């Protein structure tokens, strides 16, 4: 079975079993992956890069291609099945094998990473619009704590997803979506340095890049 087909099957099964945290029906497409990895090829020296919620490794594939020779990569993922798949790819797939010695798979929530860890670049695939406002605030606090001063955070969301969902939602859901919007504005307004529009994705997505 091809890797593509296998990973789509794994992802679909996790979407059905763990909808809330998986948050998408399919792995990200390659345009979204490339946009999320936009800043991996920038910069020099030994950098520490964290990918949050790598799933089956769709975005990781774009990251590993551009990893510098001294860069270190951490993948933080809470889903058992995705962790198993990532370890398998690191052990057996050319581009992943090449960086395996410099890559750690951390099987846990990003919020629980210890305070001492500091990264130059954080790339997040988390489905923030699925979470409670308190969860989103905790996750954004974790990003701020984990980023080195001057570091970059890249994350995505589906274009206009909150207004679209709000149209068909009751008051409690509308309030949740407004709360998430406000939490995200708190980092986008002061820190966003670049926004990519990814039309060839299902659904189309924005990738936000923030320097914090």
Ligand X SMILES: C[S@@+](CC[C@H](N)C(=O)[O-])C[C@H]1O[C@@H](n2cnc3c(N)ncnc32)[C@H](O)[C@@H]1O
Helical H segments across the chain, by residue range: 3-17, 19-22, 30-36, 58-66, 80-92, 94-97, 133-146, 161-167, 171-191
Q: Does 77 bind ligand X (CB under 6 A)?
A: yes
- CA separation for the pair 2, 9 (Å, rounded): 11
CB of residue 70 to ligand X, shortest distance in Å: 24
- What's the token pair of residue 47? 């950098």
User: Which CB sits closer to ligand X, 120 or 143?
Assistant: 143
Cα torsion 55, 57, 62, 68 to 10°: value is 100
Question: Looking at 41-49, 119-127, 166-174, 203-211, which segment touches ligand X (CB under 6 A)?
Answer: 119-127
CB of residue 207 to ligand X, shortest distance in Å: 11
- CA separation for the pair 38, 66 (Å, rounded): 9
CB of residue 8 to ligand X, shortest distance in Å: 10
Binding residue count for ligand X, defined by CB under 6 A:
23
Q: Which residue of 35, 40, 58, 63 would you call a contact of ligand X, by CB under 6 A?
A: 58
Q: Which residue of 52, 99, 140, 180 would you call a contact of ligand X, by CB under 6 A?
A: 52
Q: Does 151 bind ligand X (CB under 6 A)?
A: no
Q: Which residue of 110, 140, 183, 198 would you call a contact of ligand X, by CB under 6 A?
A: 110
Laid out side by side, the sheet with 103-107 consists of 103-107, 72-77, 48-52, 119-124, 147-158, 205-211, 192-198
Q: Does 121 bind ligand X (CB under 6 A)?
A: no
- What's the token pair of residue 206? 């924005």
Residue whose pair of structure tokens reads 């990738």 in the numeric block: 207
User: Which CB sits closer to ligand X, 71 or 77?
Assistant: 77
User: Which CB sits closer to ligand X, 112 or 173?
Assistant: 112
Question: Looking at 42-50, 105-113, 146-154, 204-212, which segment touches ligand X (CB under 6 A)?
Answer: 105-113
Q: Helix 171-191 and helix 133-146: axis angle, to 10°?
A: 20
- Binding residues for ligand X, per CB under 6 A? 21-24, 27-28, 52-55, 58-59, 76-79, 82, 109-111, 125-127
């Amino acid at each position: 079975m091809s890797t593509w087909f296998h990973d789509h099957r794994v992802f679909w099964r996790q979407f059905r079993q763990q909808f809330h945290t998986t948050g998408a029906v399919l792995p990200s497409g390659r345009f979204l992956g490339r946009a999320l990895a936009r800043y991996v090829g920038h910069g020099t020296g030994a950098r520490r890069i964290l990918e949050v919620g790598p799933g089956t490794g769709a975005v990781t594939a774009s990251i590993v291609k551009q990893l510098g020779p001294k860069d270190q990569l951490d993948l933080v993922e809470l889903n058992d099945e995705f962790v198993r798949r990532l370890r398998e790819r690191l052990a057996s797939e050319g581009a992943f094998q090449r960086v395996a010695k410099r890559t750690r798979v951390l099987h846990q929530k990003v919020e629980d990473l210890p305070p001492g860890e500091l990264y130059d670049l954080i790339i997040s695939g988390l489905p923030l619009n699925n979470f409670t406002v308190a969860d989103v605030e905790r996750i954004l606090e974790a990003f701020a704590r984990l980023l080195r001063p001057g570091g970059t955070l890249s994350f995505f969301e589906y274009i206009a997803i909150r207004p679209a969902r709000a149209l068909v939602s009751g008051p409690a859901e509308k309030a949740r979506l407004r709360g998430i919007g406000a939490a995200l504005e708190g980092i986008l307004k002061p820190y966003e340095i670049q926004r990519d529009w990814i039309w060839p994705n299902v659904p189309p997505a924005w990738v936000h890049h923030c320097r914090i």
